[in-house]
Structure 1
Amino acid sequence: MSVAVSPAWLRERLEDYPEQTAVVDTRFKLSDEDAGRKAYLEGHIPQAVYLDLNKDMSAKPAKHGGSHPLPDMEMFAAKIGNIGIGHDTTIVIYDQQNDMFAARLWWLLYYAGHEHVYLLDGGLDAWVEQGYEVTTEIPKLEAVNFIPQYREHEKVDIEEVKEKLKNKSATLIDSRSKERYLGKTEPLYAKAGHIPGARHFFWKGVFNENGKWKNTEELAKHFGSLDKDDEIIVSCGSGVSACPNVLALKSAGFRNVKLYPGSFSDWISYEENEVELAEE
């Protein structure tokens, strides 16, 4: 399972099959929630539409559920149909480089049952480096009917996480930086550390020195300490940076990989839940 495509592949696809191809720009900054949309308006890949992490790919935070809960999936499916994406559409998603926001949309579409979703390897930067066109033109969209077919087994909630940690029936990994995992720094939440039992795999570890996606052999080596027969639950801070690890694990041949959407921000919203600071 390889979902990363090159700028040349996308350019050829847009030339040969423009009506069967959708391009989605997901650029976003956690420190400036308007930055991604502004960047899109200043220039984007031809035919690209923009989807926003907070407005399109997440629900509003509540007391529990994490800081980027999954969106209402029926509303999400309606938005996908409204931007012209049907089940037969080939979708290519990009970020500025290879970032977590494109992978979040990839996971949402995969969870909703879409079979033809890809990531532009290297993002907009790689596209521009090849000398390909960038435009400010907003595409005209023709709505279609997208009917989701949910893969419910692709996610878990906090009760499942607790149960599977207790009976050791799954391996939990934390995708945040090592400093956040160890509680040495925490820029976003009131508590620092990680869910007890979680192992650390920084999400940026799935990219090579050039910032491109590692191939399947390299990813298999990266996750070599994990058992492919085990259930792997992937977490992060709020279910966003976990998504590159989910995609990478699937690419490496792990078949039982699930996302914990609420992740650490959901875990610490329950006062009784303990956190760990030591390496697991």
Structure 2
Amino acid sequence: MNSIVSMRWVLARMYEPDLFIADCRFSLAEPEAGRTAFQQDHIPGAVYFDLEHSLSSPLQDQGHGGRHPFPDIESLAQLLRKSGVSNETRIVVYDDQGGAMASRLWWLLRYMGHEEVYLMDEGYSAWKAAGFPVTAEVPVRIPASFTPRLQQHLLASLEEVREASKQGSSLLIDSREHARYLGLEEPIDHTAGHIPGAINLFWKDNLNSDGTWKSHDALADRFHHLPKDQEIIVYCGSGVTACPNVLALRAAGFDKVKLYAGSWSDWISYPENPVATGDE
């Protein structure tokens, strides 16, 4: 399934009544920067979805769940309803981070059973630089009926990840930078390294040098060495930048792909979980 669409695809459809546009711009370094940028200007009709307030739950007191805990699905469903999303709505998501943030919403919608959701290639800065319409107006949305149909097979539990690490029952893919995977540096989490048994496929390698997404054939070539008959579990630091790798794998024809939502920051919250460094 090709979930990546061009800016011109969006431009040609942006005023169609069944199309919903979600702005997911967010900066981990400046958590309010995305919302501020949205308030300044955005694609007409777009609704803002904040990574930490809309697409994640609050950090858990016991320290588990990762840095961006899995959101409460009913709260997200209610936000979608208030924003005018129905089960029949076509949804386009975008950000300005190569799809890193928007892919989180893409995955959550797929998990909620909404299949017609697309990531806009290149992102907002390219849209604006192309001279396409922008506005500072926030749209008035008419609430709609949206019923989640959870696809539990898309989500990997901690126990499944432990089993994959110990027994090789599933292929583990670490989506972070190679230096973090190796354990040479860790700028965010308190422990460096990776889940034993995982291989490293940095999510940004799904992009061309100009920031556009690679073609279907190029993505298929990138993952040609991976087994299509084995289940794949993808993780990153906190379950965000793993999502573009899930999207890319799906685009390349892999249909047995799960997300470990808590990812590395959840894994290391359990002292009994082993940690590996260096190449596998």
TM bracket (short chain): over 0.9
1:57 aligns with 55
Moved more, 205-214 or 53-62: 205-214
Q: Distance in 2 between matches of 1:278 and 1:181?
A: 7
What are the superposed Cα offsets for residues 228-263 of structure 1, whole Å, 9 maximum, x if unpaired? 111110000010000000000011011100000011
Q: Distance in 2 between matches of 1:98 and 1:253?
A: 21
Instruction: Report if the CA contact (8 A) 2:92-2:120 is conserved.
Output: yes
What are the superposed Cα offsets for residues 46-105 of structure 1, whole Å, 9 maximum, x if unpaired? 000100000000011221111111101011111111100111111111101423100000
1:228 aligns with 228
1:47 aligns with 45
Q: Distance in 2 between matches of 1:98 and 1:31?
A: 16
Q: Secondary structure at the match of 1:100?
A: coil
2:75 aligns with 75
1:172-211 matches, within 5 Å, as 172-211=172-211
1:31 aligns with 29
1:217 aligns with 2:227: no
Task: Flag structure 1 segments of 5+ consecutive residues without an equivalent.
Answer: none
Task: Flag structure 2 segments of 5+ consecutive residues without an equivalent.
Answer: none
Structure-2-length-normalised TM-score:
0.97
State the superposition RMSD in angstroms. Answer: 1.0
Q: Percent sequence identity over matched residues?
A: 49
Structure-1-length-normalised TM-score:
0.97
Q: Distance in 2 between matches of 1:228 and 1:206?
A: 18
What are the superposed Cα offsets for residues 148-204 of structure 1, whole Å, 9 maximum, x if unpaired? 001000011111111122222110010000111111111111100111111000000
Instruction: Report if the CA contact (8 A) 1:87-1:115 is conserved.
Output: no
Aligned length: 278
1:168 aligns with 168
Q: Distance in 2 between matches of 1:117 and 1:52?
A: 18
Instruction: Report if the CA contact (8 A) 2:99-2:119 is conserved.
Output: no
Q: Distance in 2 between matches of 1:184 and 1:254?
A: 31
1:254 aligns with 254
Q: Distance in 2 between matches of 1:266 and 1:141?
A: 36
Instruction: Report if the CA contact (8 A) 1:83-1:142 is conserved.
Output: yes
Instruction: Report if the CA contact (8 A) 1:7-1:130 is conserved.
Output: no
Q: Which amino acid aligns with 1:274?
A: P
